[in-house]
Amino acid sequence: MTILAAPPPPSSPPPSDYHSPPPPSLSPLILSSRERKKNPLEWVPLPKHPVFANRSPNLNLSPKALPSSPSGFRSQIGGGGDGSSNLAAWDPSASRFYLWDPNSRCVHRLSLRFRDLGADSSSSSPDDVVVEAAVPSEKLMPDIQLPSPVRHVSLNLDGSSLLLAGSDSLSLIYIYERTSATGDTIICRTVPVASKVLAGQNNGLQTLQTLWHPFSSSHLGVLTSDSVFRLYDLSSDRERPEQEYYLQPVQPGRCQNAASICPVAFSYGSHHLWDRFSVFILFSDGSVYILCPVVPFGSLFNSRYIQDIYEDLNAFGLKSTSPRIISNSRMAIAWLEATFPEVADQSTEGRSVAISRAHPYSPVDASLSLQGPLCRVCRKDENNVSEGQSSDGCKGRSVSFLYSSIGKDSVLVTAWSSGQIQIDALADEIQPQWSIGISPHLDVDSLGHIKGVAMICESNSQDLSTSKLHHPLNIGSNMSTGADTVLFEHSPPLLRLAIVDLALPDHNCMLSLFHDPLVSERFYCVHGGGIDVVTLHFLPFSDANTAAKPPSVHPILTAANDESCSPFLCGFLTIADSYGHLQVVGVTFSYECIQLEMKGWKEPLPFHYEIDDKSVYDTKATIPEFISKELLAGPKVITLPASTSLRSVTADSIEGRSTLHHYIKLFHENYVEYAHKVYIELKEHAGYLKTVIDDQQKRLHATKQLLKEFNAKDQVIEGRIDRAFKVYELLEKRLQSFKTLPAANKKPLSRAEREFKAQLDRFADVELDALHMSIEALKARMRRHSQPSPAQPPSRGRNYVPEAQMSTLKMSLERLSILNEENTQKLNLIEHELNVQGK
């Protein structure tokens, strides 16, 4: 176990009151539609948007360089807001920033864009990325009165619904369902969620945490203070939960600490085996429990991963010698075959089914087992827990929880009120477990289909105790492979990675944990003294061949705060921009925006480069041969016969002369000829060297010509890139000008609107024309009878019209004129409404 402690915090001036609401003068600028036509859309830096106030002088907003060692850590002061308190949300698909305004009781929606200043040569800081927001922004107003103040906002998976969570109430805003709009203020349809359970009248039941399910855009998980986890399907029923799990962490009558049965937070699993069907629940004493399997009805999953789990169960689970393992394996196989029928369908083997939809299913005679509390195993080299700490090595109570799947590891991060962060890894795979004999409550329709499930989940009494077990854990292997004592037998243990101490002065702090969307080994901790980034450098199963390294803690923002651990931020976001960089956005309680660029805070990754031995070390083809190998080897060695004795031979004898002649011949063949070869080689060496040098000069000249051509092409490419950027800017300006046109925001009419318009067209073409013709004919008759010719006196013949009939005709004509005016006004009103709806 590694314990990191920061140095004592420096003294800081007292801060301003972060709880005070923003003054009315800082409310956003709202422009009418007529003013927007006159003033086109303007882009300003995000911290300077009219929604936010000026920057506070008590904040140190300039990020510093990363320290090279843990001794360079800077201490932080205070604590952050509640783990569930976050008034900001981010929609990456539409690049929109949502922020709840507690003063105006509305949601500000800001459209963001990212501009890379590196493309602008005149920029003084080419390494910065500017986050710009559109002015004016939009205000989304709920059409109902919210029963309690909003503490948390979150978007669903497709960005169509925004959840407003209070301490004892939940409300849902449908972003694209507008009831009315006035300028930039949009009234959206808002509905209550779980109003029967959460009445919003301080009835004692509180919401602890709400999270959208990662595999469904309509399922919402709610953890309440009555130790019940509810999963709602908001697309079918907003009042009755689809699934209810009553959490019983200990057996009745055996509870010695009331805090141990109070849940604090929960987290869904990720994409690792059974983790995708798991829910991790944290209790206030730091104990972690698991619910598995939990799957939203109708959610979508990858069929290949489900098939792998199914094959592993049939290969290992059913061949065990333990009856309990075989029983749980059969129940898990039955659950997979009923929830995902494509797994057991042999006819789909030839076809490739990429996505599987989860069907409603629950065993009739078994309820899920609340696996845990998870025990902890430690390595032999782990330090002992100091005196005064709990069995987990941390003080206080747990306040926040985070789950992350990194490579082959499942990492659990727990934040404590003492300012400590506990980092554990699952040392084994999660397996589903049921308690036989505890029947769940099923809600079925008239066709027998399951609509809802409710069950009591008790902890398994056969699991290991929560005390630390000094286990000689083999980090490089999976404990569940071939081990019947672990597979389905007990809950997976936790392996302690590190305990990070932030050295906060108060032991009753609230810390918030947030994921990093780009680097999975990194997460953020927000508290009253600022923001810290924690990076993991060692994972037991992903980095099995490397030595264990402690995590690094770097403060990226330090705020002047007192020792009361008052909340610092009401909104926090980590945004991955379009350039592959990370933007950290925070909003204080005084409605000030903090935007930090994390480009220079990336951890260096190991660079592996494969060298081709043939091309680098094979010098025969590249280096010419200046001296012959035969000359370098030297003259041949003279071998004398072993039977020859020079002492017994005289020089004047025939045998002596023959021996001397033989040795002279050997000397001439080995040394004189070698010397002649050396002479010839040295004599011709100058010309050979000149030829080699000329060849090298030609190759050098050709290389220089290639470099010149490359530089010329590089300049051409740079010019083309510059022209492309200019064309891109021109097209962007033209696009912005097109957006201001009246027909840019027109939407196609629906089917009912098209039918209504066709009826109006028929009415205008037929009935209105006939009415106009009748009026014209009556007017002509009136003119003909009301103005007789003065030359001919009126006669009492056949064409004479009495005055009474003439007055009746005049009255009828006036009525028709009034009717015509009313019809014209109605027609103009209908055309106006059609134009408004079309825009």
Residue range 299-341, pLDDT digits in tens:
988 888 888 888 888 888 777 777 778 888 889 999 999 999 8
**Residue 691: what pLDDT?**
82
- Give me the amino acid identity at 171: S
**Residue 695: what pLDDT?**
85
Q: Which residue has the higher pLDDT, 475 or 684?
A: 684
Selection from 322-331, 500-509, 556-565 with the highest mean pLDDT: 322-331
The confidence band for 40, taking pLDDT boundaries of 50, 70 and 90, is confident
In the numeric block, which tokens belong to residue 639?
């071998």
User: Which helix or strand (DSSP H or E) is residue 444 part of?
Assistant: strand 441-444
Mean pLDDT of all residues in 786-803: 60
The C-alpha atoms of residue 816 and residue 795 are separated, in whole angstroms, by 30
Q: Which residue has the higher pLDDT, 117 or 305?
A: 305
In the numeric block, which tokens belong to residue 291?
């619910």
Q: What is the torsional sign of CA 246, 249, 250, 255?
A: negative
**Residue 294: what pLDDT?**
94
Q: Which residues contact 702 (CB under 8 A, 6 or more apart)?
A: none
pLDDT for residue 67 is more than 50:
no
Query: If phi over 0 gives left and psi between -120 and 50 gives alpha, with beta otherwise, what is residue 829?
Result: alpha
Mean pLDDT of all residues in 53-57: 49
pLDDT tens-digit readout, 369-390: 998 888 887 655 454 443 334 5
User: Which helix or strand (DSSP H or E) is residue 597 part of?
Assistant: strand 593-597
Report which of 676, 641, 648 is spatially closest to residue 662, judged by C-alpha positions. Answer: 641
Q: How far is CA 534 from CA 60, 678, 751, in A?
A: 19, 71, 54
Concatenated DSSP letters of 649-711: --TTSHHHHHHHHHHHHHHIIIIIHHHHHHHHHHHHHHHHHHHHHHHHHHHHHHHHHHHHHHH
In the numeric block, which tokens belong to residue 449?
């289909």
Candidate from 22-36, 132-146, 201-215, 794-808 with smallest mean pLDDT: 22-36
pLDDT for residue 623 is more than 60:
no
Q: What is the torsional sign of CA 400, 406, 411, 417?
A: negative
Report which of 811, 722, 823 is spatially closest to residue 772, judged by C-alpha positions. Answer: 823
pLDDT tens-digit readout, 701-758: 999 999 988 888 888 898 889 888 898 888 888 888 887 777 666 777 888 888 888 8
pLDDT for residue 510 is more than 90:
no
Q: Which residues contact 490 (CB under 8 A, 6 or more apart)?
A: 375, 462, 463, 464
The confidence band for 773, taking pLDDT boundaries of 50, 70 and 90, is confident
Mean pLDDT of all residues in 148-157: 91
Mean pLDDT of all residues in 39-59: 73
The C-alpha atoms of residue 793 and residue 74 are separated, in whole angstroms, by 115
Local structure of 565: helix, strand or coil = coil
* Mean pLDDT, all residues of the chain: 75
Q: Which residues contact 109 (CB under 8 A, 6 or more apart)?
A: 96, 97, 98, 137, 138, 139, 140
The C-alpha atoms of residue 695 and residue 478 are separated, in whole angstroms, by 62
pLDDT for residue 297 is more than 60:
yes
pLDDT for residue 487 is more than 90:
no
The confidence band for 599, taking pLDDT boundaries of 50, 70 and 90, is low
- The domain ranges of the chain are 749-784+821-839
The confidence band for 613, taking pLDDT boundaries of 50, 70 and 90, is very low
- Look-up: residue for tokens 């399907």? 233
pLDDT for residue 796 is more than 60:
no
Burial of residue 2 (number of CB atoms within 10 Å: 0-12, 13-18, 19+): middle
Q: Which residues contact 637 (CB under 8 A, 6 or more apart)?
A: 670
Mean pLDDT of all residues in 172-183: 88
What pairing do the DSSP bridges indicate for beta strands 450-458 and 243-248? parallel
pLDDT for residue 252 is more than 70:
no
Beta strands in 472-521 (DSSP E): 494-501, 512-515
The confidence band for 637, taking pLDDT boundaries of 50, 70 and 90, is low
Q: Which residues contact 222 (CB under 8 A, 6 or more apart)?
A: 170, 194, 207, 209, 210, 229, 230, 231, 232, 241
The C-alpha atoms of residue 370 and residue 258 are separated, in whole angstroms, by 18
Mean pLDDT of all residues in 495-521: 84
**Residue 100: what pLDDT?**
92
Q: Which residue has the higher pLDDT, 453 or 83?
A: 453
**Residue 99: what pLDDT?**
94
Question: Would you say the pTM of this structure is higher than 0.85?
Answer: no
pLDDT for residue 191 is more than 90:
yes
pLDDT tens-digit readout, 398-450: 889 999 998 888 999 999 888 889 999 998 888 899 888 889 999 888 888 89
**Residue 747: what pLDDT?**
73
CA 299 to chain centre: 19
**Residue 791: what pLDDT?**
55
The confidence band for 651, taking pLDDT boundaries of 50, 70 and 90, is low
Q: Which residue has the higher pLDDT, 485 or 764?
A: 764
